A and B are shown apart, each in its own frame.
Chain A
């Protein structure tokens, strides 16, 4: 496999990756199907923005956002079932059940941890020490500007955390289990070790004060844009969208079995952040995962950062100790 040169890197030398938007297939089918899969993403985004902008205060609440999120994901699961992007990514009972297990952990155990030691505590501590008068300028901005700033600042933090995970061993061992997924489906974003999900959830966006409605609008970018990172549906995504926002195509490159390709497209929502820092690769991949597509079990996912961390420490310090012992003539040198 030759791969394709993108900047200083060669993408697709180890596993197949399609590079360049012009090489990505479009939705096949009649005119109605074409219209639906061309307009679905922008129409849903603008409809949700309009809803949160105009909804009465009695409706514009976090609980409504949760139920809209659940409904939207059920709708997308339906689309996955009706028109899968790749037959090899089709959702099975086992995959759905496993994905929902991680989603469930996020809503229960992780939320509990977050309340006592996560960003919930940090946000409370920081918010208590802030001079709110200094933030009045922010809450006075138009709602959509606030929402875009909240979403962008949060994603900017996530970008660097995610990039750090791909570049520093101690963070990588927490993130690696997520890269063992071999297909993209709606709930695959939740699959991973809880330590990683905790780290990636540490957002700086929550430290600011903002209009509650702006936070709900910011959440809409997460729901109506970032959700498409993990989906088994092909869309004719508009050019402006894929320039600004992350897409299934971008994220499939990130999950490719090709090492260089996996070191790209780190942002969650705003792919423009990757463009800013030169880590964006426009393209797509079907063959995903690690170790040739080995599926990591839930049990291994839970312990992987600790077992791998232990192995690394043992290799580093154990080897040194083994060497010292060999000089005292008691133990053979470690290999």
Chain B
């Protein structure tokens, strides 16, 4: 199976044309500072640079990537920098909606598992609470009085059971974050490489 159909999820590929007259050594020298960050190791051969990052700092401008290969090749248009980067952050963000959908489903299923057992237990008698009255100072300041307790309370109305809604909302948030991140981070890294290559 060709993994490229799937690996675009966490693999970022791209290319950049080197400035006319720029040599391979000069290009790698300019990119070199990007790989002198805490938690980053790299190996450089004549036309290839391989790097790996572990526990990279949040302040690392390539912190979203965990490894990659940068290669300079000769094309019809001249020298080209081709890069292939991998990001676990993108992969986990892609998978996060599934996790949160799972949590949402768990909030639906778990009460069904635990409730039948609870129903067999003798129900504790409701403790009578005295009616709440507003303090005269609050009343004078104009705070609304509390509602009287409901007389026709439905059974289980007060139960604070978790709702699946936050799970669905976070699944949506991570789906959106993935789309934004996949586009944004590939553009950011391209801009970073371009700036590094062109900076005097």
Contacts and interface: CB of A to CB of B under 8 A. Distances in A.
Are A and B associated in one complex?
yes
Nearest to B171: A104
A104 B39 CA distance: 28
Nearest to A185: B58
A330 interface: no
B172 to A, nearest CB: 11
Contacts of A133: 130
A190 to B, nearest CB: 12
B161 interface: yes
Interface string B153-188: 000000011100011001001100100110011000
B152 interface: no
Nearest to A292: B38
Contact of B57 (A60, A143, A295): A295
A92 B63 contact: yes
A183 B58 CA distance: 8
Contacts of B174: 97, 100-101, 104
A120 B114 CA distance: 15
A26 B134 CA distance: 43
Contacts of A260: none
A112 B59 CA distance: 34
A241 interface: no
Interface in A92-117: 92-98, 100-101, 104, 107-109, 111-112, 115-116
Contacts of B162: 108, 111-112, 115
Interface residues of B, number: 50
A209 B137 contact: no
A127 B127 contact: yes
A142 B138 contact: yes
A264 B110 CA distance: 41
A292 B137 CA distance: 54
B108 to A, nearest CB: 11
Q: What are the 10 closest A-B residue pairs judged by CB atoms, nearest first?
A: A104-B170, A108-B103, A107-B166, A142-B135, A132-B129, A94-B64, A142-B137, A93-B181, A294-B55, A108-B167
Interface of A: 53-57, 60, 88, 92-98, 100-101, 104, 107-109, 111-112, 115-116, 120, 127-128, 130, 132-133, 136, 139-143, 181-183, 209, 211-213, 292-298
Interface of B: 38-39, 55-59, 63-64, 89, 92-93, 96, 100, 103-104, 106-107, 110, 114, 124, 127-130, 132-135, 137-138, 141-144, 146-147, 160-162, 166-167, 170, 173-174, 177, 180-181, 184-185
20 contacts: A53-B141, A54-B144, A60-B144, A94-B63, A94-B89, A96-B177, A100-B174, A101-B92, A107-B170, A108-B162, A112-B110, A115-B160, A128-B127, A132-B128, A132-B130, A133-B130, A139-B130, A142-B138, A209-B129, A292-B38
